[in-house]
Amino acid sequence: MQLTRDGDVFLLDLGEGDIRFSPDFLDTYERALDDVEHADGHRALVTTASGKIWHNGLDLEYMATLGDDFLGYLGRVHRLFARLLTLPVPTVAAVQGHAFAGGAMLALSHDVRVMRSDRGYLCLPEIDLGMTFTDGMASLIAAKLPQPALHRMAVLGERIGGPDALALGAADAVVEGDRAVLPAALDRARALTAKARPNLAGIRRDFYADVIDTLES
């Protein structure tokens, strides 16, 4: 995972492969958000990855080793979502591949989602895994997904590709072609850099206070 800066836009590349909320991922992501938050002036953050996966969610192998620390780990993931909702910097998810489960929630925690027309899904497969959502996750998902996307995606576990995600209000833009997502996301981010102000966090709190409080509790 690598954070680079081009002008006012920070680019966080999550890398390639089975990207999950591993302890290393969380350490690096939190440090990247620190860097972005503590920078000055106009700026925006784009989060992307390089392979078939944008983000695959919880690190189930790691979780299996945790025993009682399981809740602590989950809390840390929740606080990462909340951190994005309270960051005084606009964020754009350049979803070049699949965003599954916690990975889809990470995408929903960004201000803007750009997807591909031909590949990549948002998917909340909890129904098929025999799971339910934590209060924090349910609160985040319900706040960001309008009906009927909420019911189709979160209750029925439907995988939603780019064009459907745009039509259903789960994504903000869809672009065609192999390498078009990142440039489109960078354009969006450049148009948003002037929104990096202290009141951005306040305005998100105006609309997502319950989500943030539930995620942080």
- Site residues (vs its own copies, CB under 8 A): 90, 111-112, 126-128, 130-133, 135, 138, 141-148, 150-152, 154-157, 168-169, 172, 192, 194-195, 197-200, 202-207
Evaluated on CA atoms 76, 104, 85, 2, the torsion sign reads positive
Calpha distance 97→77 (Å, rounded): 21
* Distance of alpha carbon 53 from the chain centroid: 13
CB of 31 vs its own copies, minimal distance in Å: 25
Contact 114, 134 (CB under 8 A): no
Q: Toward its own copies, which CB reaches closer, 59 or 164?
A: 164
Provide the minimum distance between the beta carbon of 57 and its own copies in the complex, in angstroms, as a whole number.
16
In the complex, the smallest distance separating the C-beta of residue 75 from its own copies, rounded to whole angstroms, is: 18
How many beta carbons lie within 10 A of that of residue 116, not counting itself? 24
Task: Kindly calculate the radius of gyration of the chain based on its CA atoms and give it in whole angstroms.
Answer: 16
Tokens of residue 22, six digits? 């591993």
Residue 22 in contact with residue 55, Cβ under 8 Å?
no
Tell me the C-alpha distance between 91 and 10, whole Å: 9
In angstroms, give the least distance from the CB of 107 to its own copies.
Answer: 13
**Residue closer to its own copies, measured from CB, 71 or 155:** 155
Residue 213 CB partners (closer than 8 Å, separation 6+): none
- The smaller minimum CB distance to its own copies, of residues 90 and 103, is found at 90
Provide the minimum distance between the beta carbon of 13 and its own copies in the complex, in angstroms, as a whole number.
23
Tokens of 70: 């399981």
For residues 102 and 57, the answer to whether their CB atoms sit within 8 Å is yes
* Beta carbon of residue 164, minimum distance to its own copies (angstroms, whole number): 12
Q: Which is nearer to its own copies, 9 or 19 (CB)?
A: 9
Residue 71 or 203 having the CB closest to its own copies: 203
